[in-house]
Amino acid sequence: MALDPSNGYVAAARNLQDLSENSLPIFNVEPVQLQFSIASDFVAAQVANNVLVLALANGRILRIDLDDPADIDDIDLPKRVSEVGVIKRMFLDPTASHLIICTALGENYYLHAHSRQPRPLSRLRGVSIESIAWNPSLPTASTREILIGASDGNIYEGYIETSTEFYRKEDKYLKTLQKLPDGPITGLWVDLVVGKPDVRRVIIATQSRILHLIGKIGRAAHEGGASIFTRLFETEQPTIHEISRVSTTASSSLVVSPDPPDANSFESLNPDRIFAWLSSQGVYYGRLVTAPANHDLGNKLFGEAKLLPRSQLPTLDTANGRKKSVQDSVDSIALTQWHILHLIGGRVIAVNRLDDRVIFDQVVLEPGQQALGLCADQQKNTFWLFTATEIFEIVVTDEDRDVWKVMLATEHFDAALKYARNPAQRDAVATASGDYLISKGSFLEAAGVYGKSSKPFEQVALTFVDNDQQDALRKYLQTKITAYKKSSVMQRIMIASWLVEIFMSKLNSLDDTIITKAELSENLNPAQTQDQLEYIRTEFQDFIKKHKSDLDQKTTYEIISSHGREDELLFFASAINDYNYVLAYWMQRERWKEVLDVLKKQTKPEVFYRYSSGLITHVATDLVDILMRHSDLEPRNLIPALLTYDRNFKGPISKNQAVRYLLHVINQLNSTDAAVHNTLISIYASHPSKDESALLSYLESQGDEPSFDADFALRLCIQHSRVQSCVFIYSTMGQYLQAVELALTHSEIDLASLVADRPVSNPPLRKKLWLAVAKKVISQSNGIKTAIEFLKRCDLLKIEDLIPFFPDFVVIDDFKEEICTALEDYSRNIDALKKEMDESSQTATNIKIDIAALDHRYAIVEPGEKCYICNLPLLSRQFFVFPCQHAFHSDCLGRKVMEQVGVGKGKRIREIQMLVSKGMVTGAKRDAAIAELDALVASACILCSDFAIKRIDEPFVLPTDDKNEWAL
């Protein structure tokens, strides 16, 4: 359980300060402030996954969570120190899940992160463990298969898991794999090979040798029942790196670099870890390369590795405090991402492994103070120094800040640019990289690098010009233009214009080479030259698309034109949407297909208005096809082009493209513009063909509300003798007489007859029109009978109407039958009139009889009968009785009639009532007034006459009525 602070333990905390990279060194050793006292000294320490494990001389173990320093576990070994010995060393896996504790008397214990009771490892009793290689899969429930190196040179494979059963062993099995004759196994490492799950790489370190093994392992048994490394150690021969003059007293260990701290680290680009082997000669280190995954991997790994001798490490001259190079013993090492940390006595020295330069050397411990060693947290990238009484953290601040300098010095320019942090650093890398490439003659590569540097523009450009490197100059300018901001208008315009000049020169050079079938200085044959020409042309087009805003239009036109590059000129004009230039260019050369191709891509109406007049004369059909796809055009603006085309058109009207377009505008776009309609009529009327069917069809389609100007159309039709059209227009204007006269003037008898029948609602006018037709027919007819037969088509004309038009000496026999027929019709009409007169006389007699009978008509009023309006007895005052048997008081009837009649009649009734009631008339006038009043009031029953029909919208039940009377 966690220790309570009251028991004397207080959590340890790290002192970290957030300072800028300019004010802090890369490394700084900071003591951890311990606010508790310990009963005995530290004898061993380990750190992993932010968990700190401390072993005390009295056999106790402190486990501290650095994320929550208050969480401290105080753990005791199962036996006293006097029985098992002092804790000699501990091994903590990278996940901080598994801890193996080794004592001086050969007792080994296992402690899981979720347990507080160390369990003895019986199979490992008596084994002096020097190193452990944890399973690369980093399991947490159990250790799975691990390698154990002993002080007697034996290498074991083990499998350890926690168990709650008392009689169940923690170590499932222990298998001896190999024994090396050269002393303790001071370091072990196992890792996976990507893509090959059954292959492992094993590195073994002793005091004099480092061995590399790679090969297939055996199949893992269920729950770790059998060894998997036996096959590897039995079948594979190791690759060995050995040193001479070994000192048995010198420290030896094997360490591996921690996990990359973030995605921007060097290791994220190159996933190989770094190993370092500490021996008596110094530190031997290199990359843990993973390819090729065969026996040659060891040779490659040791071939790339290098030695940092101990003689290269400075030491402190205690006499005068000055540093001098002598061979001192290295007690311990640790790897950071870029440096090797050395613990030499009480000093910590950091060496940059890229250039073996010492960048940190500080005395940390007091004289006589003994260090336990350096530890690195593989997963959290923290580094620690332990003594018997103190804990120090080696704080790393922006470790890669100077990596770019090292990469630059070693001519690894890509890596240097990767780690350059600010524009000044990136510029320095770019400049140095460019200078290096120039010195090697790699002008094209240098151009791309120089473009990102601040090296003077003139100097770089002259370098390429002096060396006749036009391609490199082109690449440099293309890169440089992107480095300028949009606000640097003049610089961008100048560079862009220069690039256009270079592109044109290059294209002309390639064209000349192709034409002459020569070979270029670059040893390109004509076929390759053609490919390069296409590549440069594409590059130019991409440049124009990207930087068209940086090009001055007039200057660019002049540059391209001076080189005679027609395709490039037109491409530039199209790229900047200067379609007027492109169209004018093709129009001048009468390249109609190219003009139409450009026109198809246009959307601005002004372009069509401007070039239609020139195009319609040569490619009328294609132009009209394009125009018909643009409904946003204003057709009246195209009328000049259409009329120009019509003047030169010689074919039939059905092939006239101007007519085709106008009909599309009228019929499909529903245009009502009089100018459009008048233009169509003008083209129809002026066509040399005598056929008026097309014009008539159009006129008929306009209906009663035509969009054309009737007067204008009439003048055109008269001017071009379009008789049928004129007659139709006269008819639509209602001028039937003029239409008939015009038709008769041109002897169009049938047409005149059709017009004469149109005013159906005006029989006199219709008869007048037919008389005009009859006169013309009789005057032109060879026979009277023929004329009379034609005129039978009108039902208004009689023979007597036609006689005045006959010649003076016509023989009556020619139309005797028609005269007889007419006389018979008159006789029948006289008989019908006489019959109607007799019927009228009889009706008048019957009316007189009915009037006389009215004087004797009466109605019976029963006693108690009520007025139909007020429901009071009818006989109480003057009343009216109607033939329908409805009876009303005269005053009730008067009021009711006043509500129904109009304003004028109601006013008259009130006037008469006033005259009679006030005695303003007497005698005969009074009788006449009363008679008039009775006639106005009692003219009809208000319940069953027209009065009742007018009241049909009134409700049966009024708001004033008792609704219970109508309840069901």
Q: Which conformational region is residue 245 in: left (phi greater than 0), alpha (psi within -120 to 50 degrees), or beta?
A: left
Percentage, residues of the chain above pLDDT 90: 25
What pLDDT does residue 768 have?
Answer: 72
Is residue 21 predicted with pLDDT exceeding 50? no
What pLDDT does residue 7 have?
Answer: 35
Most confident listed range (128-137, 167-176, 655-664, 959-968):
128-137
Answer yes or no: do 924 and 959 share one domain.
Answer: yes
pTM: 0.57
Answer yes or no: do 891 and 804 share one domain.
Answer: no
Q: At what angle do helices 592-599 and 620-628 cross, to 10 degrees?
A: 0
Answer yes or no: do 599 and 737 share one domain.
Answer: yes
CB burial readout 568-579, b (16+ within 10 A) else e: bbbbbbeeeeeb
Strand arrangement, sheet containing 51-56: 42-48, 51-56, 60-65, 72-76
What pLDDT does residue 270 have?
Answer: 47
Least confident window among 289-298, 328-337, 386-395, 918-927:
918-927
Mean pLDDT of 502-528: 73
| Type of residue found at 108 | N
d(CA 639, CA 758): 36
Does residue 91 belong to any structural domain of this protein? Answer: no
Residue 844 belongs to domain spanning: 816-857
Answer yes or no: do 790 and 739 share one domain.
Answer: yes
Does residue 847 belong to any structural domain of this protein? Answer: yes
Helix (H, G, I), strand (E, B) or coil at 92: strand
Answer yes or no: do 749 and 885 share one domain.
Answer: no
Does residue 755 belong to any structural domain of this protein? Answer: yes
d(CA 346, CA 681): 112
What pLDDT does residue 787 have?
Answer: 60
Assigned token pair, 655: 């092939």
Q: What DSSP designation does 2 have?
A: B
| Type of residue found at 94 | P
What pLDDT does residue 6 have?
Answer: 35
d(CA 597, CA 615): 12
d(CA 346, CA 368): 9
Answer yes or no: do 396 and 524 share one domain.
Answer: no
Tens digits of per-residue pLDDT, 437-471? 788 888 888 887 887 787 888 888 898 888 888 88
Residue 461 — φ and ψ, nearest 5°? Answer: -60, -45
Confirm if 171 and 116 have CB atoms less than 8 A apart.
no
Residue 654 CB burial class (10 angstroms; 0-12, 13-18, ≥19): exposed
Answer yes or no: do 733 and 623 share one domain.
Answer: yes
* 199 membership: H or E segment, kind and range: strand 196-205
Answer yes or no: do 755 and 771 share one domain.
Answer: yes
Least confident window among 80-94, 365-379, 513-527:
513-527
Answer yes or no: do 636 and 653 share one domain.
Answer: yes
d(CA 123, CA 133): 18
d(CA 608, CA 595): 11
Does residue 467 belong to any structural domain of this protein? Answer: yes
Answer yes or no: do 825 and 687 share one domain.
Answer: no
Does residue 733 belong to any structural domain of this protein? Answer: yes
Answer yes or no: do 850 and 943 share one domain.
Answer: no
| pLDDT confidence tier of residue 328, bands split at 50, 70 and 90 | low
Does residue 958 belong to any structural domain of this protein? Answer: yes
Q: In whole numbers, what is the pLDDT of the chain averaged over residues? A: 81
Neighbour count for residue 311 (Cβ, 10 Å): 12
Q: What is the 3-state secondary structure (H, E, C) of 523-553?
A: CCCHHHHHHHHHHHHHHHHHHHHHHHHHCCH
Answer yes or no: do 381 and 465 share one domain.
Answer: no
Assigned token pair, 74: 């105080």
Is residue 764 predicted with pLDDT exceeding 80? no
d(CA 780, CA 786): 10
Does residue 724 belong to any structural domain of this protein? Answer: yes
Across the strands, what pairs with 92?
A: 99
| pLDDT confidence tier of residue 509, bands split at 50, 70 and 90 | confident
Does residue 889 belong to any structural domain of this protein? Answer: yes
Q: Which residue has the tokens 């009379």?
A: 788
Most confident listed range (58-67, 256-265, 397-406, 742-751):
58-67
